[in-house]
Amino acid sequence: MKTKYDLIVAGAGYAGFAAAVRAARNGMDVLLFDRDGCAGGTGSASMIVPYMNYWTIDPATQEKIYLNKGLFFELRQHLIEQGQLMANDRNFHDEYVKLIMDRMLIEAGVTVLYHSYLIGADTADGTVRSVTVANKTGNLTFEADWFLDATGDADLTVMCGFPTRLGRESDHLCQPMTTCFRMANVDTALFKEEKPQIQELYQAWQAEGRIKNPRENVLTFFMPVKGIVHFNTTRVVGKNPVDAFDLTAAEMEAREQIFEMIAFLKANFASFKDASLISIGSRIGVRESRMISGEYVLTEDDVKACRKFDDTIAVANYSIDIHSPDGSGTLIYKLPQGEYYTIPYRCLIPKGVKNMLVAGRCISADHVAQASVRIMPICCTMGEAAGTALTLARQSGAKDVREVDVPKLQKQLEAQGLKIH
């Protein structure tokens, strides 16, 4: 069994997937591992839909300007060819995403280990030497020259002993977790007519204490399959996503909310008379947990000012979207159309580490900025940038991720189809 690689990527969500594929295509020998049995992270295991806007609108022409491209757009094109992307550019069929990601990983030559949990790391003088994972084979230790933490929860960063923080700065509460579910055989035409009445009755029942879910409304979307309604509407507040007991309680509470919602809809609305539950996300969706303490902290002011950085590695325009950590309510701050902010390379570098980057929703950002950068298309772009940066580090003989030639990195990212400026 091979135990040494050029690069080890922890976590196969959008960030880890993109980093692994890009680094392998650029000549790295890559091991990618994940706790789930598929790639795609929350987009697959948690069935998260929709994919929030990865574009802005040109105010003059009203045309879309796509901001998150590269490997994300390559995957998107595969979905279009399979007929599994809705015309709104946002609703992906997650079962096809799993297959497409597998194919892209295999074609790139990435060694993939699913059903593998990170249980340890060996670090000395700021250099990560190895990681240990637990799976059906046993406890396996792998070494590498370079590492990427794409776990979403900064698990590898914590196990290496580098600093992180949790949630909102004032009280360390995190945005609520959500378990998605889907119902089939819904009369979707009638559902569209009944939706205002659904919202009205839901809020009335909630006020009477007959609905325990604290979310302020019923949030639904459609899928590329007829007759199916996707629900992104459960809301579990006050739980710590990186505490095993809280996470378990959150899964149980969310399932209660799901069956509460199904009973409510079937008892009161004709559009759901013949509908049936067909799927629940295999794990609850986490919006926010740990963030690394990085060389730079992306801030609320940076996002709102649409700030551009000299060491940009990704661009974004998604709204600041904060589901209240306290209970009901969602704060949305929309950025100006035609504008965008950028994410600096320094946000991917944990303080004190030499040979590891971090990509995904756990980069160095404050609570408000993280509420914008956390979406899957942006995470995918950050992952591709991280995989490219680590390839350049290896090619140049660098000993520290801070030695990466950022202008050269930016030029390479642009050559790969990513927007930087």
173: in domain? no
- Give the integer Cα–Cα distance in Å for 308 and 6: 32
The pLDDT of residue 205: 97
Residues 28 and 141 in one domain: yes
Residues 36 and 160 in one domain: yes
Domain limits for position 132: 4-168+288-415
The pLDDT of residue 1: 87
Q: What is the chain's percent helix, strand, coil content, to nearest 5? A: 35, 25, 40
Residues 321 and 386 in one domain: yes
Residues 118 and 19 in one domain: yes
Residue 350 bridge partners (DSSP): 294
The pLDDT of residue 65: 94
One DSSP character per residue, 241-255 reads TTSHHHHHHHHHHHH
| pTM for the predicted model, two decimal places | 0.97
The pLDDT of residue 108: 98
The pLDDT of residue 421: 86
Residues 296 and 203 in one domain: no
SS3 call for 117? strand
Residues 55 and 27 in one domain: yes
176: in domain? no
420: in domain? no
The pLDDT of residue 178: 98
User: Which residue in 181, 178, 177, 182 sits closest to 167, CA to CA?
Assistant: 177
CATH of the domain at 304: 3.50.50.60
Identify the domain boundary among 280, 303, 323: 280
Residues of the chain with pLDDT under 70: none
Residues 196 and 303 in one domain: no
